[in-house]
Amino acid sequence: MTATGLQRALAAQASAQKQQDLQRYFKTGPGQYGEGDCFIGVTVPQIRKIAVQYCALPFPELKKLIRSPIHEERSAALFILECQNKKATAGERGPILSFYLEHLQYVNNWDLVDLTCRDLLGRAIADGLQDSSILDQLAASDNLWERRIAIVSTWYFIRQGQLDHTLRIARTLLSDPEDLMHKAVGWMLREAWKKDPATIEQFLQTHYHHLPRTSLRYAIERMAEPTRQQYLKGTFW
């Protein structure tokens, strides 16, 4: 079982039309957030179907995939890493986390971030395998994807009903210039609202004048329409 075998399996599913669609969807043009990323035209279900057949791939082979310039190969590597993490014992999860953190520079589009960080990094922090200060370090990064990892990793805690990390990182990212970050912060606030509406509504009111409009719209999406309109108009006082 080798990286080469997986690469061939992906190449066999490649589509020129899908390649164009994916490069447009993931904003790979000059000046866009995914500038220079290369696609061969394989869909996520196809990648996942192939990746599950290679879940035992060792780190040296995974390294070849995650460092690939081809997006689908990096995606397959991360699917495999996630698969290994789910099946791993407590002792095995440490090396998996280390591999992930050592290769963060290749987790460089929103789909790759969102696929992995909740259960790889978020869970590791919750289980004491990694100090939570890494979230603050990532949130302060100049790298867009590291900042997204910081906030989306807190989704693991949200699902446990723990909102402190989400609120802390959201405060740090209130002034982030990137629209993708505004969406990610709003998304996590919306997930947190499902667990504790009162706490999140207080957060939105406290930071209303500094919260990007996109973050607000994402955060209030599931609220009752009269309440949602109050937040849009700022008439909740």
Tell me the pLDDT tens digit for each residue of 193-202: 999 999 999 9
**pLDDT at residue number 237:** 64
Q: How far apart are CA 154 and CA 33, in angstroms?
A: 23
The residue-averaged pLDDT of 9-26 equals 96
Confidence of residue 173 (pLDDT cuts 50, 70, 90): very high
Please check whether residue 130 is in contact with residue 97, taking contact to mean a CB–CB distance below 8 angstroms.
Answer: yes
Q: Domains for the chain: give ranges and CATH numbers.
A: 1-110 (1.25.10.90), 131-237 (1.25.40.290)
**pLDDT at residue number 189:** 98
HSE, side-chain direction, 13 A CA sphere, residue 26: 24
- For the segment 100-151, what is each residue's pLDDT rounded down to a tens digit? 999 999 999 999 999 999 999 999 999 999 999 999 999 999 999 999 999 9
Which amino acid belongs to residue 68? S
**pLDDT at residue number 90:** 83
Q: Average pLDDT of the chain?
A: 96
Q: How far apart are CA 190 and CA 26, in angstroms?
A: 24
The residue-averaged pLDDT of 168-183 equals 97
